[in-house]
Amino acid sequence: MNSISVRALLVRGMLAGLAAGVLALVVAYFLGESRVDAAIALEEAHSHDHGGGEELVSRTLQSTAGLATGVLVFGVAIGGIAALVFCYALGRIGRFGPRATAALVAFGALLTVYVVPFLKYPANPPAIGNPDTIGQRTALFFLMVALSVLLAVAAVIVGRRLAPRLGNWNATIAASAGYVLAIALAYVFLPSFNEVGKDFPAGLLWEFRLATLAVQATLWTTFGLLFGYLTERLLVPKPGTATAGDGSASRAAAAAS
């Protein structure tokens, strides 16, 4: 793929990530912020030695401008990274067109970057967690993310090498089984944390975690659909112009090579 196509796809990936971030922001604000407020209120109600110091950043600013900045910057960043992954994956993971490849990249990112680490170290609202373990918990979460991504890449490589001997379907099953087994071993051997107090409402915890999952699902689903549409318009020639010249056709062929 030439540098012009990569640059064009990178721009489209960042734009798609921005648009996905906007929708994810709406979900985060309406589904997540009310649960955060409820958890903070619960924490303050059970805190008998609350210092009463002034907040460096007000809760209102955190839930509006702060939330928007974080989600939108994250959306643009992951859009750019996913676009680069798409550039490599197109034509190398099977005979999939741009839309299908974009959907697979988005689904794979949602699964490996968020869902798999989430199942081991789920998100917790502000009222949960020991401040003394926050550094360890953060490091282990990012370690789980790195392991999940690296193992997924290894599974794709193994699947491609097994395909000529086993066939695409059997190779995919074998590689996926290897990924699941390796993740299961990581789940077993990495430390776990159970810092949820007995007096914390289980319903609120469940709703908060579902809200965080909904934000990520919205982000990656929107990105996959929009980026697939944009890449198809860029790389696949229209039926009426397919015979007008070889430039568009060669561009799509170069993208898949």
149 is in which domain, residue-wise? 130-195
The 10s digit of each residue's pLDDT in 3-13 is 668 888 999 99
Number of compact structural domains in the chain: 2
Say if residues 28 and 211 touch (Cβ distance below 8 Å).
yes
Cα 174 to Cα 156, 185, 209: the distances in Å are 10, 17, 31
pLDDT at 240: 59
pLDDT at 53 over 60: no
- Which amino acid is located at 208 in the chain? F
Regarding whether 114 and 6 lie in a shared domain, the answer is yes
Cα 172 to Cα 101, 107, 210: the distances in Å are 16, 16, 30
158 occurs within a structural domain: yes
Say if residues 244 and 250 touch (Cβ distance below 8 Å).
no
The 10s digit of each residue's pLDDT in 73-98 is 999 999 999 999 998 888 777 778 88
Q: How far apart are CA 54 and CA 68, in angstroms?
A: 23
Regarding whether 186 and 97 lie in a shared domain, the answer is no
Measure the CA angle with vertex 169, ends 166 and 172; round to 5°: 90
Say if residues 114 and 216 touch (Cβ distance below 8 Å).
yes
Regarding whether 214 and 191 lie in a shared domain, the answer is no
Choosing from 195, 227, 242, the residue where a domain stops is: 195
- Helix ranges (H only) for 90-201 are 98-109, 116-120, 134-166, 168-189
Q: How far apart are CA 176 and CA 197, in angstroms?
A: 36
Say if residues 13 and 88 touch (Cβ distance below 8 Å).
no
Q: Is the dihedral of CA 121, 220, 235, 238 positive or negative?
A: positive
pLDDT at 120 over 50: yes
18 occurs within a structural domain: yes
Choosing from 174, 195, 216, the residue where a domain stops is: 195
Regarding whether 208 and 184 lie in a shared domain, the answer is no
Q: What is the mean pLDDT of residues 60-85?
A: 89
Regarding whether 223 and 123 lie in a shared domain, the answer is yes
pLDDT at 1: 60
pLDDT at 168: 82
53 occurs within a structural domain: no
